[in-house]
Chains A and B, each alone.
Chain A
Amino acid sequence: MTTATLRTFGRGGVHPEPHKRETATFAIVDVPPPAEVWLPLSQHIGEPATPIVGKGELVKRGQKIAEGGATGVPLHATISGKVKPLDKRPHPTLVSAPAIVIAASGEPAELEWIEDPGWRRIDAAEALARIREAGIVGLGGAAFPTFRKLQLPPNAKVDTLVLNGAECEPYLTSDLRTMLEQPREVVEGALAMARLVRVPRVLLGIESDKLVAAPGLVAAAREALRVAALEGVGGVSFEVVPCEVRYPQGAEKQLVESLTGRRVPARALPLAVGVVVQNVATAVAIHDALRWRKPLLDRVVTVTGPGILEPRNLRVPIGTLLSHLVSACGGLRDDTTRIVAGGPMMGRTLPRLDLPVVKGLNGLVFLTGRGPLETGFGPCISCGRCLEACPLGLEPDQVSVRLEVGRTLETEPYGPLDCYECGSCSYVCPSDRPLMQFMQVAKSALRRAHETGIAR
């Protein structure tokens, strides 16, 4: 591990107030058992799961309750209890969607998880099957089914697994706490993935304000590599690489550039430059799935922000209602105005608290007072700050002024199609212009125009 110079990406980025202190030192605690969980059939990118349990059935925590289709993943009961009739429930991103509801009843027994002693030596097909059966999706927020991400196209040439521990969003500390408290699982999960995609090295990118987690990870890596060598599955290196604290350090493209110096082409995946990226919490889930065949049942959620009375890092069964998390954190202040699912840069606002925790929810930030965009926005004053902030070298100012006068198709040269919506431009705009939304609007309009042949 080197600490001499911090790695970082070449261009743009911003430095929002980190607000990590509110929760960084709080160990992950279990939320009190919820009385009910709502498990939406769609919690991932891909087709929704198909229920295999019926109304009134008693299920045990850990039991599979819905099958994943070709592109989706299965779903598991996260508490023991009785299945209620399948019904539509509020959903954090889909507004309302079918969910399996389980009401806690009887003793809270859980299926038993038996260690597979040979888990490090299983072949790739078996590993992928276990990962898929465990219902694992990317836990950094994207919720893309992990087995699909690890199932590389036959012609793919990869040489690096990047483990994303950057956690560049303000306020969130769930990945930090995971790295501090479960370094062995993080490392073992990562090494298992490296073996699965056959790469010789793992690079764990971590922002320099989280270096407190580095010694534990390095020690865990040394031990895991020793064991792996004994079992004859060595040949993978593991390096913890400190990166500059700079948003969006944790964006795939930026982290890959910081760690490997390779630039992922616009609109391409890191795969294009030989890299697979996985989040640290996903690595833990993969460890559990391979070693114990244990499905993804819980996740860590940072509940924080000025609106919550007692910020915490909670481990919660998936499907637990947000209102339950709020109760576990002392309740809300009266002046709470925004509930943000995820970090405040890229997270989405939620309208209500009777929503379930889904697999991709890494944080819940309660903000108070008036936020950006509530008082309208001003004209572009050409200050150039968005140009400086964009990590991709796009021109949100040009896109916005053209959209404002209805010249949508003329925005294409300024890059909206390449934008992955990190929000840095909106963050810095002194006129409060919703530049990221202008980029979104231009992007979807241009895509539609291309599809319908209006544009070239």
Chain B
Amino acid sequence: MTGPTDQPAIAPAPVATAQPAEPEAAPRFVIAPGPHVHAEDSTARIMWTVNAALAPAALWGAFVFGAGAAAVLLGSLAGALGAEWLAARALRRRATLSDGSAFCTGLLLAMTLPPQLPGWAALLGGAFAIAIGKAIFGGLGFNLFNPALVGRAFLMASFPLAMTSGWSGPRPWFGAPLDAVTTPTPLAALREHGLAAAFHAVTTAGSPWPALVLGFRPGSLGEGSVLLLALGAAVLLARGIVKLTIPASVFAGLALVTLAVQGPSAAALHLMSGGLWLGAFFMATDYVTSPSMRSGQIVFGLVIGALTGIIRIFGGYPEGICYAILIANLLVPALNLQFRPRRVALAGGTP
């Protein structure tokens, strides 16, 4: 024997060796079913990681577009968090603010909104997203649609003018405000005036790429910088929170449609729209409203991508991903029924 094993234990258990059955003694040891260890990820941890991954792009949007954008951000967050708190109280559910899910909804909604939308409208949108998009379904895990996009659809229907004319060019916090209050987004320009106009809308110093990648261009609050969105997406991919399946399928679906109809340059512009990145990586991947199995996710992603292309080219909106995701959300129950795991070996089956 190595070590001081013949010495009495430092903290002997509350046990007399030969004394049987001392019923209902103070329960010092937990009796619980296994497993007794757990993977590190929790729902709250996942949600706050998503929020952290979104934060740089959101803050960058507030920086690039100025104080109005900050008001949209705060309004949307306040609306979502307020509604979540109220819903938990009113429906006597356990408090869920800390799980990060409502925050995520508020953040995502703000990032899809025009930076010059009035703050109160954003607040209303955030509240609607949570109350109607999530709480009435039964809260986290039970909603059919992506709550943030429900909020956005609500705002589109209720404030069509504000939702489509609140675009502005970059308006830095410091320095002279830019004069163009109503500027077409690249996709709107593409839609209305064609490819050349679209590239013109984003071209600074002879190249469109700085604007597309960094976000100095008209657009919604959080879609400006594809670079920062891609960074956030990389964090989620590296952490295993999001898999590439859905985003890649979305990109593929959109690429197929736009290539076929509009050709490669336009397709490139479509794929470089921040809205697509935001939707594909951060909204279409929402666990609750996307299929669970990889095979179902591929179909889901392709549908979103294709619908986005169709809406952008033939539909009434320059940006189509919002409705594309909402429509695809409707397919999820059916996709989950269709695409299920294959049993490894059925009872009575042959090896």
Contact = CB atoms under 8 A, between A and B. Distances in A.
Interface of A: 10-12, 14, 16-17, 29-32, 35-36, 87-90, 96, 170, 253, 262-268, 272-273, 309-310, 321, 323-324, 326-334, 336-340, 344-354, 365, 367, 371-374, 378-384, 387, 390-395, 397, 415, 417-418, 423, 426-428, 430-432, 434, 436-437
Contact of A430 (B1, B41, B293): B41
Contacts of B16: 354
A87 B20 CA distance: 10
A337 B34 contact: no
Given A331-B8, A340-B34, A415-B343, 4 more contacts: A262-B351, A330-B4, A338-B29, A351-B27
A173 B123 CA distance: 57
A261 to B, nearest CB: 9
Interface in B221-265: none
Given A323-B17, A330-B9, A379-B141, A397 B292 contact: yes
Nearest to B341: A393
B193 interface: no
A333 B21 CA distance: 23
Interface in B19-45: 19-21, 25, 27, 29-39, 41-43, 45
Contacts of B140: 378-379, 381
Contacts of B43: 378, 381, 430-431
Given A265-B351, A347-B34, A384-B292, A323 B99 contact: no
B6 A32 contact: yes
Given A344-B37, A346-B35, A378-B43, A265 B20 contact: no
A434 B290 CA distance: 23
B142 interface: yes
B1 A392 contact: no
Contacts of B348: 265, 268
A16 B37 contact: yes
A96 B22 CA distance: 12
Interface residues of B, number: 60
Given A384-B292, A395-B341, A354 B346 contact: no
Contact of B15 (A262, A323, A428, A434): A323
Contacts, number: 226
A266 B32 contact: no
21 contacts: A36-B17, A170-B37, A264-B351, A330-B4, A332-B10, A332-B12, A334-B11, A339-B29, A349-B34, A349-B36, A354-B16, A371-B32, A381-B288, A382-B292, A384-B292, A387-B292, A391-B344, A427-B35, A430-B43, A430-B45, A436-B34
B204 to A, nearest CB: 41
Contacts of B46: 383, 430
Contacts of A417: 347
Contacts of A321: 15, 17
A330 B27 contact: no
B27 A333 contact: no
Centre residue among B15, B42, B99 by max chain A CB count within 10 A: B15
B175 interface: no
Given A310-B3, A352-B15, A423 B342 contact: no
Nearest to A305: B36
A373 B32 contact: yes
A367 B42 CA distance: 20
B37 A309 contact: no
Nearest to B20: A89
Contacts of A426: 34-35, 38
Given A36-B18, A344-B34, A354-B20, A327 B9 contact: yes
Contacts of A96: 21
A13 B45 CA distance: 22
Interface in B316-351: 340-351
A321 B2 CA distance: 20
A350 B2 CA distance: 27
A32 B1 contact: yes
Contacts of A353: 13, 15
Contacts of A348: 34
A88 to B, nearest CB: 7
B38 A326 contact: no
A169 B99 CA distance: 31
Nearest to A333: B11
Nearest to A262: B351
Contacts of A415: 343
A361 to B, nearest CB: 15
B118 interface: no
Contact of A327 (B12, B34, B290, B340): B12
A333 B28 CA distance: 12
B343 A332 contact: no
